[in-house]
Amino acid sequence: MNIPASDKKRIVIIGGGFAGLTLGKKLRKSDYQVVLLDRNNFHTFQPLLYQVATAGLEPDSITYPIRKVFQKYPDFYFRMAEVQHVNTTDRIVNTNLGELEYDYLVIATGAQSNFFGNSQVEDYSMPMKSIRDALDLRSLLLQNFEDALVTDSIEEREKLMNVVIVGAGPTGVELAGALAELKARVLPSDYPDLDMSRMKIRLLDGADKVLPAMSGAASEESLHYLEKLGVEVQLGVFVENYDGHYIHTNQGKIAARTLIWSAGVLGNPVEGIPLGTVDQQAKANRYEIDEYFRVKGIENVFAIGDVASMVNEDLPAGHPMLASVACQQGVYLARNLRRLSEEREFVPFKYQDKGSLATVGTNKAVADLPGFKTQGMLAWYIWMFVHLFLLIGFRNRLVAFMNWVWAYITYDTGVRLIIRPFQRRE
């Protein structure tokens, strides 16, 4: 892979998401040589993917070049590579670029969509885990409206205009709200020949409330906001099948050419490193780690972020798969790796819950913060400030802020572009 030899011990980080990026930044000027591997040459701010999908932001405003983050870091190397297998016996990472030896390995490969074994739903639905997914969804939505204009069948027109979202967590709720605002404020001007009252936005979930991980007040207020925006929320509904035209559920059949899947996630394990033996770990594809992030049973291998699960009495399913958890774990592991080089004892991880946020639309958001809960406009301002602060790069913050201000003033979004047509599976 052409990484220079070094007298320092080498740390290889697989994954440039929140966990891997934070760890790499915190290892600056450490006693290690650090190599970061990722299949992309950019970091994606996943909490705002839904805004790219609904034409609220340009894709380059929520992505940032990994090389630019680390360009002034000594003895730090980035390679855009696909990891194919890890040999933990010989401490070798096999990639499409060749082999790479390591002294310490950190798995930070994040998560993937969980389709619960339903291959047909996986084939025909639209996930929301990457910038490519968001661009594909944006193209599909716009293509469907273009096709709806020219079809003579009212049934087909309604199927093309209808959107069904499965999963009422933050991604599903935020997507539903953004689509509802698009329907109310933008699409009638773009497509005056279409009767927008025929467009139905449905949010389905098997649970008995939206945003189940948040407080009851946040859940109730979010449901109120969604219904006020015209979203049809159906709870206790499980998707059984989807053929690209009809969604079959335990409560009937829904006609729609667009099914967005945000119902669950799985960890992204690496070939060659087995999962833990705990049932919950195997179900969620997450590595079982101890309080120091060491993968149990494997020497010199660590895991952080969504692919890792630290099980204890208080958290039988591990920490939630959130960016805030991933970032804190990256900070702690960097601290422990520095202590390791100094032959000092590790510090156990203690997660600080910084709360949860979700936005449903303009001036409509919910916030569950430590010792403080609020809804409405104040929560919306908090949501905007936090997301702007967490974006990487001043330009990205400025572009996102200007887009939000423009949309707030004009009730319009400016990136309704089909740059790369999506090839729908028929």
The full 3-state SS of 337-391, as one line of letters, equals HHHHHCCCCCCCCCCCCCCEEEEEECCEEEEEECCEEEECHHHHHHHHHHHHHHC
Task: Provide the 10 A C-beta neighbour count for residue 57.
Answer: 25
Is-contact 57 45, C-beta < 8 A?
no
Task: Report the C-alpha gap between 203 and 197 in whole angstroms.
Answer: 17
DSSP code for 199: -
Q: What is the pLDDT of residues 23-58, one digit of tens each?
A: 999 999 999 999 999 999 999 999 999 999 999 999
Task: Report the C-alpha gap between 331 and 95 in whole angstroms.
Answer: 27
Is-contact 12 99, C-beta < 8 A?
no
pTM for this entry = 0.93
Task: Provide the 10 A C-beta neighbour count for residue 335.
Answer: 15
Q: Which pLDDT does position 359 carry in this prediction?
A: 96
CB burial string 375-400: b at 16+ within 10 A, e below: beeebbebbbebbeeebbbeebbebb
Which residues make Cβ contacts (< 8 Å) with residue 384, sequence separation at least 6? 401, 404
Task: Report the C-alpha gap between 312 and 288 in whole angstroms.
Answer: 11
Q: Are strands 258-261 and 163-166 parallel, antiparallel or unpaired?
A: parallel
Q: What is the chain's mean pLDDT, rounded? A: 93
Residue 326 burial class via C-beta count within 10 angstroms: exposed 0-12, middle 13-18, buried 19 and up: buried
Q: Which pLDDT does position 283 carry in this prediction?
A: 58
DSSP characters for 269-336? PPTTS---SSHHHHHHT-EEB-TT-BBTTSTTEEE-GGGEE---SS-TT-S---HHHHHHHHHHHHHH
Q: Active-site residue 174, yes or no? A: yes
Low-confidence ranges of the chain (pLDDT < 70): 276-283, 413-414, 426
Q: Which pLDDT does position 346 carry in this prediction?
A: 95
Helix, coil or strand: residue 137: helix
Catalytic residue among 158, 174, 181, 288: 174
What the block records as the tokens of 127 is 């996930």
Domains of the chain (ranges, CATH numbers): 9-39+81-113+265-341 (3.50.50.60), 119-263+355-410 (3.50.50.100)
3-state percent breakdown (helix, strand, coil) of the chain, nearest 5? 35, 25, 40
Task: Report the C-alpha gap between 340 and 345 in whole angstroms.
Answer: 7
What the block records as the tokens of 103 is 């002294």
CB burial string 136-151: b at 16+ within 10 A, e below: bbbbbbbbbbebbeee
